[in-house]
Amino acid sequence: MQKDEFAVHELMRGECHRFLAACFYLPKKELFAAENLLANLTLSLQDICPDAAPFSRKMEENFARYSEEELAVEYARLFVGPFGLKAPPYGSVYLDGERTVMGPSTMGTISFYEKEGLARDESFSELPDHIAVELEFMYFLIYKEVEALKMGDLELAKEYFNKQDDFRSRFLGKWVPKFCGEIKEGTENGFYSALADCVTAFVQAPALAQGDSVS
């Protein structure tokens, strides 16, 4: 794969992370429609992760079936509470045991963020290892990789690719399948069930080996 072609591929892969992250915030139909988010997710996944694309199509179909209020109620029941979360969206719950938050693994994610010069926005109320935050961090790393590719700095691009692989293997890839399993067990909502399947397929799919892919 040529450098320019690979940069486009990686840009699309980054967008997949960003689109999926958006699905783990309180659903707003107007915002989804403005970006044609679910259709664009499917379009990108067809190239980046074909195994996940059928699930994003199901997400789009089911998103249209439910009202915004119905989606918001199910979102709260799964991820917010107050009567016990069906699927806590925090990595430490699955990585550190005893369904705890802000555990050692959370400190590990914070260390990753700080090494990239990222600091917590005081207006943001979620924890650092929230599923949306980790997906957005992957998007950030891919964006930096694409920037390096566009500048012709293949060594820097490879460095950012390796950082993605490290973060995914130590954090995101280790806990997200368990988290998505809890979503599947805890919901009968077609949108969130398909989202769980989509994220599982996407996160577990192997990324392209950059050294074998850029010439």
CATH number of the domain residue 35 falls in = 1.10.3480.10
HSE on the CB side for 111, CA within 13 Å? 11
Report DSSP letters for 34-52, one per residue. Answer: HHTHHHHHHHHHHHH-TTT
Residue range of the domain that includes 20? 3-207
Asked whether residue 215 is assigned to any structural domain, the reply reads: no
The pTM for the full model equals 0.93
- DSSP sequence for 121-162: -TT--S-TTBHHHHHHHHHHHHHHHHHHHHHT-HHHHHHHHH
Is 213 part of any domain?
A: no
In a domain, 128, yes or no: yes
Residue 18 lies in a domain: yes
For 78, 103, 131, 156, the CA distances from 83, given in Å and listed in that order, are 10, 22, 20, 47
- HSE-CB at 166 with a 13 A cutoff on CA atoms is 12
Report the domain count for the chain: 1
What is the residue type of 94? Y
Q: From first to last of the 215 residues of the chain, give the pLDDT tens digit.
A: 687 899 999 999 999 999 999 999 999 999 999 999 999 999 999 999 999 999 999 999 999 999 999 999 999 999 997 667 899 999 999 999 777 788 899 999 999 999 999 987 877 778 999 999 999 999 999 999 999 999 999 999 999 999 999 999 999 999 999 999 999 999 999 999 999 999 999 999 976 533 345 55
Residue at 113 is within a domain:
yes
User: ∠ CA(58), CA(140), CA(162), 5° rounding?
Assistant: 100
